[in-house]
Structure 1
């Protein structure tokens, strides 16, 4: 026991040699789980941790200080490293080579000790170091410690790694231990993975819906362009023949598809059939109805059936269906967002380049 104490005393003297010219004699001992006693200074422990301060200066027998601080539950070497960080009291020690090696080797024990004894700067440094060295075979162990030590950032990073590489995590010994002895944590991890999958699916659905609204807004713009200005072989009914270069086409591919639909609608014999209109004619009618909801022109609109749809709505007295109004609102929003995005791209292209120094 005495040899161990002398060994740790020498190590502390070497560690603090650069900071202390004359190191005062120790006045306390840190007792570890192995039964060893590490010499230390009460002032250093008290200044580094409020918990150690309350333990170190608490009177024990006959109103006197015993000078013994117990740090149990972790290996003795981890306690030595923890005390070395307390003696340094400098965050730069975490970024040194010795500090990185210590966190890589004893990071789990150090974050537990720093949380228990409220050494916040060391706890944050251990969070960063453990997050940088995460792997599938030890992420569950780090996750357990992060949860117990209230390390929210480290907890989220562990969960993200588990979701990203869950098949590899399932092969680890820590995961098998959790399945046998900690069903609550297992359920929490599985629930988190399920929530992440649902958020991804919801995000993809929202993205698909936004793309659909963008395409509908583009179709509305092309429909107005075709019916007011004319494009290639389709144009306003009062202009014959339509000009092939009248105005600028918003989208040639969408415009071409709409022209095919409009020509089919004009010549299809099944659009008023009692058996039911053909799907292509239904699609054109839906576009016309959607346009009538978003159109602000009263009688001057040249889009077919726009006036008829408005008159039918007023005659029914019930207004448009709520689903159609919601769809029209989202289409208008998509059109505005698309227009703003186009303006931003044009502004970035037209932005002059910065002049180099020395040029006029």
Structure 2
């Protein structure tokens, strides 16, 4: 006799506890050990260039040979066939097997159907003795209603929604014990869609671990992490904390890891926002120095005046104020005025992103290009990393376009060899 015992006294489903333990017993008259199910014979076809295909060997059939080909067109079973299989189970026509349950009821079925659908049941049936022309096996630890739904599913893969709602936990255990993966998938889907709640998610997580259901375990873990404050106050968490402290430790570690990832994500989003603002500042600076905007711009361009429409560059207003301050500040040294220091940094960043310093109208662009040649390696690496981050903040396509321009600048001549090498490729 084989036994799988799962203490489920604390399992809850829709507010009602399951009083009976999930304890599945497999019994037959002389069950020794699970036997390996022999595979069907497979025959290889001979392929000759001048000879036709040989006929099938004795014991094969035309349908068996065709089953090895693609069967996508016949993957859906007509409803009439499922009705016939359902009727065969419900009426018990020509049944040769009796499945007994804990309450003494018997379910008539066909040993060939159960043996094909479950290798565990096949081993039990091979060792079961005949009694009055019937094989007899016993499934204990589950309500007779759950066993009835389980055997019906083996016939036609059908179930009533109310029945699956009532016996879903027992059916999950039965599907695991008897190795019926299709039923396990149905139970996991039903639990995920309709039954998971803060008051039972800890119990279902423990059951998922015992029944080898990794997807259900992952779903339960995510739900616990997402609403940890509420779930940690439930009775299921208190029981789990007492009887399974290792699982509690794993959940707490997962919670810390998820919180760390959330903080890292928020930090990266904030950094990306800063880099995007720098990119917009570069665009606005070039726009002001090349075309002019409202009341500020180059001397050889006619200004549009204050009546012009709204500027399409979002950072233009801030850069305009910064440029006006920079042009009239009496200090104007990098360490003397915070606004001037910011302006110096923007001008230097522009010079590292500029591809045409000879015709560029941004002030001090050529000055910073020459200054690059005398910087130390550490300082150069810091600036190059900043340039890459600013370009990446605009998107992959923009970044690829900028890298191509840097590659062209690298091979243009010796005058640009100090700029391009550090900006092309990862740093």
59, 63, 67: which one pairs with 2:135? 67
3-state SS of paired residue (1:71): strand
CA deviations 1:222-259 (Å, max 9, x no partner) are 000111111122222x43774438999432x4111101
State the partner residue of 2:117. Answer: 48
Residues 109-188 of structure 1: matches in 2 within 5 Å? 109-132=170-193, 133-188=195-250
Q: How many angstroms does 1:150 deviate by? A: 2.4
Indicate whether 1:324 and 2:383 are aligned.
yes
Residues 298-309 of structure 1: matches in 2 within 5 Å? 298-309=357-368
154, 165, 168: which one pairs with 1:104? 165
3-state SS of paired residue (1:250): coil
Residues 24-35 of structure 1: matches in 2 within 5 Å? 24-32=93-101
Q: Whose helix proportion is higher, 1 or 2?
A: 1
State the partner residue of 2:270. Answer: 208
CA deviations 1:199-231 (Å, max 9, x no partner) are 222222222222222211111000001111111
Q: How many angstroms does 1:44 deviate by? A: 2.6
CA deviations 1:55-96 (Å, max 9, x no partner) are 2113679xxx9934343443444333322322x332xx24xx
Q: Whose strand proportion is higher, 1 or 2?
A: 2
State how far apart, in whole Å, the 1-side matches of 2:165 and 2:178 are.
20
3-state SS of paired residue (1:235): coil
Q: How many residues align?
A: 312
State how far apart, in whole Å, the 1-side matches of 2:91 and 2:190 are.
33
Q: Is the 8 A contact 2:96 2:134 kept in 1?
A: no
Q: Is the 8 A contact 1:33 1:72 kept in 2?
A: yes
State how far apart, in whole Å, the 1-side matches of 2:153 and 2:244 are.
33
TM-score (norm 2): 0.65
Question: Residues 71 and 321 (structure 1 numbering): CA distance in 2 closer, same or farther, change over 3 Å?
Answer: farther
Q: Is the 8 A contact 1:227 1:302 kept in 2?
A: yes
Q: How many angstroms does 1:271 deviate by? A: 2.7
Specify every segment of 5 or more residues in structure 2 that has no aligned partner in the other structure, as ranges: 1-83, 400-427
Between stretches 77-86 and 131-140, larger displacement belongs to 77-86
Residues 89-100 of structure 1: matches in 2 within 5 Å? 89-90=156-157, 93-94=158-159, 99-100=160-161
Q: Is the 8 A contact 2:357 2:365 kept in 1?
A: no
Higher relative contact order (CA 8 A, sep 6+): 2
119, 123, 127: which one pairs with 1:58? 127
Specify every segment of 5 or more residues in structure 1 that has no aligned partner in the other structure, as ranges: 1-14, 341-360
State the partner residue of 1:281. Answer: 340
State the partner residue of 2:153. Answer: 85
3-state SS of paired residue (1:67): strand
3-state SS of paired residue (2:373): helix
State the partner residue of 2:409. Answer: none
TM-score (norm 1): 0.76
Question: Residues 320 and 296 (structure 1 numbering): CA distance in 2 closer, same or farther, change over 3 Å?
Answer: farther
Q: Is the 8 A contact 2:118 2:180 kept in 1?
A: yes
Q: How many angstroms does 1:306 deviate by? A: 1.4
